[in-house]
Amino acid sequence: MSTAYLTKPNEFSHKFLLKGQYQPTREDIMLFPQRFEAIKASTFESMLLFNTINFKVVGENIPLAVLATEIGTKGIEELIDQEALRFTHWTPMILHFVGNIPGVYPLASGRHRSKAHNDPEESISLGLNALAQKLNKKERKTLIRKVRDLYEYAEDNIEHKSKDYVLSAFDSNKLSKLGLDKEIHDIYQLPSHLKEKLSKCAEELLEYKHITNAKLTSTDSIGSHILLNECINKIIKINHPEAFSKIIEIENFPDLRKVYSNISAPLRQAVKIRSNKNTRKFRSWLDETVENNELSEISKAYIDAVANKKGFFDSHAGKLTKTTVMALAGAGVGAITGPVGLAVGGTIGALVAPAADIGFDLVDEYVLSGLLKGWSPRMFIEELRKLNIKIEPSI
């Protein structure tokens, strides 16, 4: 079961949606609508391609408030019923000292201890307070009760291990290509900009370690430095959106983020689409395909799946059933399908011979199309085409 780990909604929300957290620049104000839509488009994509979406939450659960605005409390409850929604209540932290203290390493690790960072109900309640249109008392109480059990936490001591590993990496000079060269700099006398870089290394390692431990998939942009190359490659060797990009090239279909921008109420629609049988089957197929293939092999895997689709009658049990159904078609179709069956039943019966592979079109059309057709991943694309997406060509 695939789980998308979404960190950007929390980061964006705390920066731009909470009063007093950050003073936006003129550029921030100009780009706010574009950036906010990009965050929601990424969420839309993850809702369709992953079985579960897991939002990182630091303190107040503002991502939940955004969801409540976009899909309503009913939509959130639908996601919960689909077992599609989780929250990681993020408490670990890496700090660096402003000044240098002789004999003391510049990094420290610990956990947030406030109620907002440790009590799911407080986190949810504070997040919902950010809503411009407040929920009524009953809706609020119900949502808190249902969402609180969706919270999970990073493993104990992961922050201390990450800090210690980065300090060890500095001591063995593995960070020299980042400008953190042991031969040049004393760990106890690092300038401020290098302490910030060392702290950033530890924070990234902490995040990646959590992703691997919890078997999550991160599609957010990540840093690239020598220390984490091996770890990063394991996490993002291939992910679901990358694999899907190969499929839509074949199908000449827009990517899901463009789909988001060209349909009404996209996140509300995503809740419905993701519960569709073809979407669920596609996610299962995509999970298996991503697990067992390199990115360069995705196109072939998709084409093979479409070309080799098998219906029920292609199975061993289905072949016997097919013969039986065909033998009984002339007598039974009328009873099954009413006037249409009466009209075609005799014809089918006359066409059926011991070799029951002929004269099958009418039965296929009226009675057995689902069994005969089989399933292929293209059916998910066909579901998306029903949205009648119209994208204006760019100039």
Residues 6+ apart with CB under 8 A from 36: 12, 16
Residue 77 and residue 220 in one domain: yes
pLDDT tens column, 300-321: 999 999 988 655 445 555 555 5
Residue 197 and residue 225 in one domain: yes
Q: Give the mean pLDDT of the chain.
A: 83
Last residue of a domain, one of 306, 333, 358: 306
Residue 278 and residue 316 in one domain: no
pLDDT tens column, 38-74: 999 999 999 999 999 999 999 999 999 999 999 999 9
Q: How would you classify the pairing of strands 107-111 and 151-152? A: unpaired
Distance from CA of residue 191 to its chain's centroid?
A: 39
What is the value of pTM for the model shown?
A: 0.81
Residue 160 in any domain: the answer is yes
Residue among 21, 1, 20, 24 nearest 10 (CA): 21
Q: What is the CA radius of gyration of the chain?
A: 27
pLDDT of residue 279: 96
On the question of pLDDT at 36 being above 80, the answer is yes
Residue 59 and residue 81 in one domain: yes
pLDDT of residue 330: 47
DSSP code at position 364: I
Residues spanned by the domain of 275: 240-306
pLDDT tens column, 325-367: 445 444 444 443 443 333 334 333 333 334 444 344 444 443 4
On the question of pLDDT at 324 being above 80, the answer is no
On the question of pLDDT at 226 being above 80, the answer is no
On the question of pLDDT at 186 being above 90, the answer is yes
The rounded distance, in Å, linking the Cα atoms of 347 and 368 is 16
pLDDT band per the 50, 70, 90 thresholds, residue 237: low
Contact status, residue 71 vs residue 163, Cβ threshold 8 Å:
no
